[in-house]
Structure 1
Amino acid sequence: MSTDPHTPKNTNNKYPDAVMMPKAPLLLSGLRFSVWISPDGEIERLANSEAARRVTLEPPYVCHARSTAQRLSIDPFLSYDVLELIAFVRPSAACTPTPRGLAAFIGAPEPTSIEAAAMLLHQTSELLLREQASKGRQFDPYAADIARTMMMAGWLWGPSVLAAMHEEDIHSPALKPGRGLRIWERLEEWSDHAPEDPPRNQSVKPEDARKRLADLLGDEAEARPQQVDYTSAVSSAFAPRDVSGEPNIVLAEAGTGVGKTLGYIAPASIWAEKNGAPIWISTFTRNLQTQIDSELNRLFPERHEKAKRVVIRKGRENYLCLLNLEEASQALMSRPNDAIAIGLMARWASRTRNGDMVGGDFPGWLADLVGRGRTLGLTDRRGECIYSGCPHYSRCYIERNIRKAKRANIVVANHALVMIQAAMGGGRDEGSLPSHYVFDEGHHLFDAADSAFSAHLTAQESQELRRWISGVETGTTRSASRARGLKKRLEDLVATDDRTRDLVTETVHAARHLTGDGWVNRMEDKQPSGPMETFLSHLRDQVYARTDHENSPYSLEAETKPPIPGLIDSAIELRSALEQLLEPIKNLRRRLEQRLDNEADELDSDTRRRIEAACKSLEQRGSNQIQAWISMLSALEEETPEDFTDWFSVERAGGKDLDVGLHRHWIDPTKPLANTLLSQAQGTVITSATLTEGSGSEESDWIGAERRTGAAFVPGTPIRARFKSPYDYVEQTRVFIINDVRKDDMDQVSAAYRELFLASQGGALGLFTAISRLRTVHQKMGPELDRAGLTLYSQHVDNLDTSTLIDIFRAERNSSLLGTDAVRDGVDVPGESLRLIVFDRVPWPRPTIQHRARKDHFGGNRYNDSQTRLKLKQAFGRLVRRENDRGIFVLLDPMMPSRLQNAFPEGVSIQKVGLAEAVKEVKNFFDTKTQKLPKRDR
């Protein structure tokens, strides 16, 4: 590779006539071959083995180096990754990491050949360098320093980027290297406000909600009577309750196309304006939060106004921690190879809307490119925040977001955060829970509550608690930046109080009973250390003794009783050790609370907040968790409380242990959901396209919906409302159940996927009930689709995060995607990009100990049918997202019971056919010469 640092630059034009483009080849790789374009323009099609050889000789331009390396079956290699240049020049900009995505990103025509796609790598790079040159140093005086720091660590783009910024001598820094990384010094500080006034209690009239809806839609909008009726119905929830503990609950099922998002935004926004308090809209996934946020542009079209009125809330673990970024920057002296990742993180941090790294404006592919530990690992994932004790507290993204949410009109949250706040009786930061909620994707409330109200005594949980208490311990290699212990977090708060310091020391000393680093090897060697590891070692032995572990490389579970010899004795010893740990934690909390009282007239606001936060953390992270563990251990001698299920498990992957522990879940987690959240609210809307299962009995369906959402356990009677989809599923969709493919023969299953995907010419989503089945199908069918010019992407196979995979699938009309539950639940792909869904088999619930308990509780086989019917209904619902969408749903399972067929819309053609006939029908359905338009478009 050669570059010319003396390329002439014309600084008089907005975009210079010439920039210093690296003289390097262009590389674009598929599953079977690669296109290689030399710096002189010679185009070659190479076997991937030859391309793998050449990249070791000269670094090429690529788009997503790690995915390219995976296709070439080699380790990551030096390259000019266009995505890294995008992350530097346009930090926080959205770009799908494919050639077609690059074309859309720069406004170029979609490439019509793989050679044209490869040329986009050069075209995009040149445009970005010209753009950087046009900005000049005054636009961002620290960008050059960041680029120089990255270049010193081997960033190949460094010379070109510095030349574009008119750095005449790229090796003579104008700023001290590393200064540009100190983004925390340049962020605007947030300011505190007086406490918010209590909300008023004014209702929302249906006619006002309908008028607001009309305003949101505009004069040119198509009339949708269902949406208007939906808005009127959900308005009932936005009224003050008449009886304590009896909220106004509306269960509203709205089929796809009704327009439920704007339908509930209309009354919710009016309530927030009239009552001076925020409405919380909660959805299941972070991607869906982004979609709701996008719809709110209609309510607040002016960007700055929206920034004040709409806030997206997530858990702390989703946001960049500035202290972690600072410590990672300081560690570059000993870890210089991290400079590229930290430099790109600093560039993003300077442009992000709110510091959200999971579903926000952080490009998901960046973590795949430069490492998850150096990107997503910089969030506060271990509850180590020191709040106002942090030097960056006044600029913290999280604290800024929390304060904005208190003064916003609408807060867009997710079920996980809402449930955790409810479980903890209100967040540390919020002070009290909201009075009104909208739960979109309400069919997921059961699972969200199940996660929030469960308890896990496992090796990893124990290890995390020990790190939270002790921090870095002697003999470990763990970075101090990722393990700030209790003593470090509280050192200035306890410096003048000997007794409080002693309690911290006692807590740290007692934490030695918990799981330590290296526990996996010690358990395998039968040499556990301490009471926690001893108990977990016995637990592991019981699981292995009572399962067929030799024939399963995957996770295992076993009942807690009868116990093997030694298990109860080790549980008693562990319970005693946990009680020894619990005592100083409780005393430390009491001591800190006393200080709040004794020094009420002396403590400044920041110190008071820190003490309050420390007390809350000690309660939630320490006392509550340990008390739950003690209760679970006691039940091993006695009986598990009737509302719960306990079991042992060994989490495994590839035949190796990842975690081992004792688990406790509510049999019906909507009970605590109802008690801690629904009954405390004034009003709640619970809405979804699949609230009811469609069993054929309307009353039975609504009773099931009330139980799954927790409404059944709240006093009063919820309002039920159902609005059918306006789409013509009879004309727009087909369902085929394949009756001649053996679902346990992966060769047959793979062949079926291949032929169906070829028949639809892509635009296909393959859903799987097991990751192993997905990987097998991908391996067998991938090369065949590649040979046909169709790109196949796969969750759990490709080096891409799930959100990025969905973005690619949405953007590329003829690509296909294989995935599991996360894809089924989170994908919203309108248009021709999704026109075929193939499910590998009937998605029966997995037969686990927990499922058995719930099956017994909820009605036996009817519970199985209910769960399965809902999964089929949700999967089918991915097909038609817009008025003119058309699609086919295929199930590769001849054992599909006819009683489950009412999961599909009434009147839709459901045919049990052989594979060959289904392939023919798929081809005919998508043949543009023969396909029928929906009735309304004829």
Structure 2
Amino acid sequence: MTTDQTLPPSSSVSVPPVPALVASPRRAVLVHPDGEVEEGEPAVLGRRAADLRPLVCHAPGTAARLGRESLRAHDVLELFAFARPARFVLPTAAGLAEALGLERPEDLVSQALVLPRVAAALLHEVTALPGRERSDARSLAFAMARGGWMWGGPVLAALGAQGDAPHAASMVRAFRVWERLTEISEHAPDVPAGNHPVEGGEARARLADLLGPAAEDRPQQADYASAATAAFAPREKRAAPHMVLAEAGTGVGKTLGYIAPASVWADRNEGTVWISTFTRNLQRQLDGELGRLYPDPAEKNRRVVIRKGRENYLCLLNLEEAVSRLPTQPAAAIPLGLMARWALATRDGDLIGGDFPGWLVDILGRGWSVGLADRRGECIFSACPHFNRCMIEKAVRRARRARLVVANHALVLVQAALGGLEDGVLPTRYVFDEGHHLFDAADSAFSAHLSGAETAELRRWLLGAEDGSRTRARGLKARAEELIGESNRAAEALVEVLQGARVLPGPGWHARLGEGGGKGPTERFLSLVREQVLARARGQDGPYSLETEVTPPVPELAEAAAALDVALHGLDLPVSNLMKALEARLDDEASTLDPTTRQRIEGLVRSLDRRVLRPVRAWRAMCRTVGSETPPEFVDWLGIERAYGRDMDVGLHRHWIDPTVPFAEAVASRAHGLLVTSATLRDGSGDAEADWRAAERRTGAAHLPHGIRAAVPSPFDYPAQTRVLVVTDVRKDTLHRVAAAYRELFIAAGGGALGLFTAIGRLRAVHRHIAADMDAADLPLYAQHVDGIDPATLVDMFRAEENACLLGTDAMRDGVDVPGRSLRLIVFDRVPWPRPDILHKARRAHFGGRAYDDMMTRLRLKQAFGRLVRRADDRGAFVLLDPMMPSRLGGAFPDGVSIERVGLAEAVETVRGMM
């Protein structure tokens, strides 16, 4: 078979004369430059293409479908990242074609045929790069070509590169992108925000402006915006914020509904409102919605800031150190060249969920992409030569002057747990969207873990790398020595801190514990923890993490815990002394210290408090209760963390039974106003008052003096638009039957299906069973934990194809926003009961026994069902493959939607009839 591969004519554009390869789980296609088309089994064509270096889209994914570990290929996504840095594209042939204005390919042959045209179009764009960007791109391409980049030759030709390569210094300069970034501009401190309230009419008027005159009439949205204004009233008493719990049914439009009063308050009072979400995906959606408020991009850049933890942003010092290794690692020029192109084009340096393509991590590897972020807390702040150009610091400074800061629960709560933001300041006005996740976010932020990984990481932060590896983790001595000045007291304390750090696990701790040994008091304690877990935990032959109660401890564990408490005191005391000595220097030399040194000292004191003193004191408190009674507000347990069947960590864990207690103290009571909102705040027990009380317990409102409740119903006609089916004849513990049910239901719907699972292992097993059949039915199948693509990108791919299907776990249950026919069926593998672990056992006893289990399960079903209908013309079915679904969980679904118990055959026919 032959076909035409017409390319746009250009003397400087030369697409490599290699075949184009695409593959599905069942079939692969290889289209040669002369137009010949080969079709066959993926493994067969994979062997044929192994030495051809074909054109592909997403080489790691293609290799996986071919049954190969890797594939040497011309990945068109790499060329896209070079030509269009910091630009979005779906990592599929169809996504590339649409991004470049080419006809969308519908089958494997047309997908293969479009790849050379995509490559030609991208090379044409490279020919048009202007001025300095063109010069830099040329230098980068030379270095990348020397490192073995397959696109090096075509890109250099497109750039008109002739003769010898640029001088070595020019190539190095092209990688040193930090030199061309703008510096942070300093501003005078802002005046405190005012306290003027927002009236309901003002919120409605701002909402109308945001929607525009052509918008449909949505009275529920206006009612919601008016109710939200109560969170922006002036506070009347200390520690008594105005807290509004607002449940907004799907379709109300709560995002613009709270942006309206929040923006009015921020403008009027010249203050900042922090809008916090649970998922990065919603942060991205919010950023898009705020374009309505600030249509001018420059004004939006001033008024709106996206904030995440430091571990999400490119660290320029990490990038510089990676670039410094180029002389001995020439192949590193390939990933670093693509990172350099992105770094100059990015809006804010956000590597996770920002304008950095998630698929680029798969292609470059984590070490050369997200690994360049400060993921280990090694930031040296103002001691860094790039501090005045730091992308993180820019976001922090901009957030101080912004009107709206879009953050996430993890950042907001962790910062609060540590006493405030980077400058010790706490916001006064919050909007917590996805408020049903506040309990879990607080649970994570306010917990403590005396584990091998946590303690070894602290030792590394204090002592630096001890195993000879090349890293900038030079330890506390290198960071603090020049800040000590003439203070003998500080110098002595520093020596004692470094000595005290040696009680923590050193390099090789994991192997020593695995052999039943241990060196030093921390490793000795952890070795005994491991012994107790292995002696008592169930399920040791499986791949999952293990846990057991602390009491009664095995012989010597309590003694080892007491010894560790004493040893940690030898770290606690000198750290306190060092902090006091540094603070004394700030006082004693107040008139002579330059601003930079003062700032560095203050930053080091904060770091010592947050990174050392707080965790060490939490660990000591935990040690003191081993062998006695855990304080009643906490639950402790011992655990071995496993991943991929291997032991990864071991330790003693402490969580609050009710984590909204510290949330209320550290966040809510210090604020003036909070709006906590979600489509799923209340339980569906049937008792309206009990349902509101459950929402108050889950959000911390129960621990505050007073709160305001508001509920705005969904405008959708759920009984007419949806069906809920419980399949009664599929055994949930027989995976091949579960897989068959997924296959038949997905095919009956013609795609547009989301499959949800309570366990990763079940998801993978179902995927193995149905992948080929789905491919035979021409229904693309994507899967979290299988495809090696980040969840947000998978959702984007799923959304873009009306007949695609997606398998996922918890992240998909909450993180999918797919209106229209791209999502018309949800299939859940079984009732999502809470996992019966030690922590849940304690909370179950505290919050009401079986009723707590039911509430948790109803909320999960409610959240999953909420993915199904996102706009007024959506229709769909929710199917649960669990005959043991109790009727008391029916409150998870909207009023009027009844649960129909049917056999699989009837469910399949019902789904087919709805589509």
Contact 1:148 1:173 in 2 (8 A): no
Residue type of the alignment partner of 1:836:
L
Q: Which residue number in structure 1 is paired with residue 454 of structure 2?
A: 461
Q: Which residue number in structure 2 is paired with residue 764 of structure 1?
A: 753
CA distance in 2, matches of 1:477, 1:802: 36
**1:326 Cα offset (Å):** 0.3
Contact 1:145 1:175 in 2 (8 A): no
Q: Which moved more, 1:131-140 or 1:184-193?
A: 131-140
**1:478 Cα offset (Å):** 3.2
User: Against the structure 1 CA distance between its residues 705 and 524, is the aligned structure 2 distance closer, same or farther, given a 3 Å change threshold?
Assistant: same
**1:833 aligns to what SS in structure 2?**
coil
- Say if 2:549 is the partner of 1:552: no
Contact 2:12 2:157 in 1 (8 A): no
Q: Which residue number in structure 2 is paired with residue 330 of structure 1?
A: 324
CA distance in 2, matches of 1:153, 1:579: 51
Could you list the per-position Cα deviations for residues 156-191 of structure 1 after superposition, in whole angstroms to 9, with x for gaps in the alignment? 001111111111136455863322110000000011
Contact 2:540 2:546 in 1 (8 A): no
Q: Which residue number in structure 2 is paired with residue 75 of structure 1?
A: 69
Could you list the per-position Cα deviations for residues 191-219 of structure 1 after superposition, in whole angstroms to 9, with x for gaps in the alignment? 11111101111111111111111111000
- Say if 2:39 is the partner of 1:49: no
Corresponding pairs, count: 909
CA distance in 1, matches of 2:164, 2:27: 38
User: Against the structure 1 CA distance between its residues 331 and 503, is the aligned structure 2 distance closer, same or farther, given a 3 Å change threshold?
Assistant: farther
- Say if 2:162 is the partner of 1:168: yes
User: Against the structure 1 CA distance between its residues 231 and 172, is the aligned structure 2 distance closer, same or farther, given a 3 Å change threshold?
Assistant: closer
Residue type of the alignment partner of 1:837:
I
Residue type of the alignment partner of 1:459:
G
Residue type of the alignment partner of 1:443:
H
- Residue in structure 2 matching 1:442, options 435, 440, 444: 435
Q: Which residues in structure 2 correspond to 1:588-667 (within 5 Å)?
A: 588-667=578-657
**2:901 aligns to what SS in structure 1?**
strand
Residue type of the alignment partner of 1:461:
E
**1:52 aligns to what SS in structure 2?**
helix
Could you list the per-position Cα deviations for residues 860-898 of structure 1 after superposition, in whole angstroms to 9, with x for gaps in the alignment? 000000000000000000001122111110000000000
Q: Which residues in structure 2 correspond to 1:312-711 (within 5 Å)?
A: 312-429=306-423, 431-473=424-466, 476-481=467-472, 483-494=473-484, 496-711=486-701
- Residue in structure 2 matching 1:821, options 761, 786, 810: 810
Q: Which residues in structure 2 correspond to 1:156-235 (within 5 Å)?
A: 156-169=150-163, 171=165, 173=167, 176-235=170-229
**1:139 Cα offset (Å):** 3.8
CA distance in 1, matches of 2:782, 2:509: 36
CA distance in 1, matches of 2:683, 2:11: 62
**1:50 Cα offset (Å):** 2.1
User: Against the structure 1 CA distance between its residues 479 and 837, is the aligned structure 2 distance closer, same or farther, given a 3 Å change threshold?
Assistant: farther
Q: Which residue number in structure 2 is paired with residue 249 of structure 1?
A: 243
Q: Which moved more, 1:134-143 or 1:692-701?
A: 134-143
- Say if 2:732 is the partner of 1:743: yes
Residue type of the alignment partner of 1:462:
T
CA distance in 2, matches of 1:302, 1:519: 54
- Say if 2:113 is the partner of 1:124: no
Residue type of the alignment partner of 2:689:
E
- Say if 2:785 is the partner of 1:796: yes
- Residue in structure 2 matching 1:730, options 702, 710, 719: 719
Contact 2:552 2:627 in 1 (8 A): no
- Residue in structure 1 matching 2:33, options 35, 39, 50: 39
CA distance in 2, matches of 1:247, 1:495: 44
**1:296 aligns to what SS in structure 2?**
helix
Q: Which residue number in structure 1 is paired with residue 826 of structure 2?
A: 837
CA distance in 2, matches of 1:520, 1:49: 39
CA distance in 2, matches of 1:626, 1:138: 51
User: Against the structure 1 CA distance between its residues 583 and 604, is the aligned structure 2 distance closer, same or farther, given a 3 Å change threshold?
Assistant: same
Q: Which residue number in structure 2 is paired with residue 935 of structure 1?
A: none
CA distance in 1, matches of 2:757, 2:605: 45
Contact 1:543 1:648 in 2 (8 A): yes
Q: Which structure 2 segments of 5+ residues have no match?
A: 1-6
Q: Which moved more, 1:894-903 or 1:561-570?
A: 561-570
Q: Which residue number in structure 2 is paired with residue 302 of structure 1?
A: 296
CA distance in 2, matches of 1:32, 1:567: 55
CA distance in 1, matches of 2:672, 2:166: 64
**1:358 Cα offset (Å):** 0.9
**1:668 Cα offset (Å):** 0.3
CA distance in 2, matches of 1:762, 1:488: 58
Contact 1:148 1:170 in 2 (8 A): no
Name the Cα RMSD after superposition: 1.5
CA distance in 1, matches of 2:468, 2:853: 48
CA distance in 2, matches of 1:478, 1:557: 34
Residue type of the alignment partner of 2:439:
F
Contact 1:61 1:122 in 2 (8 A): yes
CA distance in 2, matches of 1:209, 1:141: 51
Q: Which residue number in structure 1 is paired with residue 24 of structure 2?
A: 30
User: Against the structure 1 CA distance between its residues 672 and 27, is the aligned structure 2 distance closer, same or farther, given a 3 Å change threshold?
Assistant: same
CA distance in 1, matches of 2:10, 2:47: 36
Residue type of the alignment partner of 1:689:
A
Q: Identity rate of aligned residues, in percent? A: 56
Contact 2:784 2:807 in 1 (8 A): yes
Residue type of the alignment partner of 1:465:
L
Contact 2:743 2:773 in 1 (8 A): yes
Residue type of the alignment partner of 1:827:
V
Q: Which residue number in structure 1 is paired with residue 3 of structure 2?
A: none
Q: Which residues in structure 2 correspond to 1:890-909 (within 5 Å)?
A: 890-909=879-898
Contact 1:132 1:164 in 2 (8 A): yes
Q: Which moved more, 1:815-824 or 1:504-513?
A: 504-513
Residue type of the alignment partner of 2:623:
L
Q: Which structure 1 segments of 5+ residues have no match?
A: 1-8, 927-938
CA distance in 1, matches of 2:729, 2:878: 17
Residue type of the alignment partner of 2:828:
F
Residue type of the alignment partner of 2:422:
R
Contact 1:100 1:812 in 2 (8 A): no
User: Against the structure 1 CA distance between its residues 832 and 273, is the aligned structure 2 distance closer, same or farther, given a 3 Å change threshold?
Assistant: same
Q: Which moved more, 1:436-445 or 1:806-815?
A: 806-815
CA distance in 2, matches of 1:344, 1:509: 43
- Residue in structure 1 matching 2:836, options 833, 837, 847: 847
Q: Which residue number in structure 2 is paired with residue 712 of structure 1?
A: 702
CA distance in 1, matches of 2:782, 2:673: 43
**1:18 Cα offset (Å):** 4.9
Contact 2:30 2:37 in 1 (8 A): yes
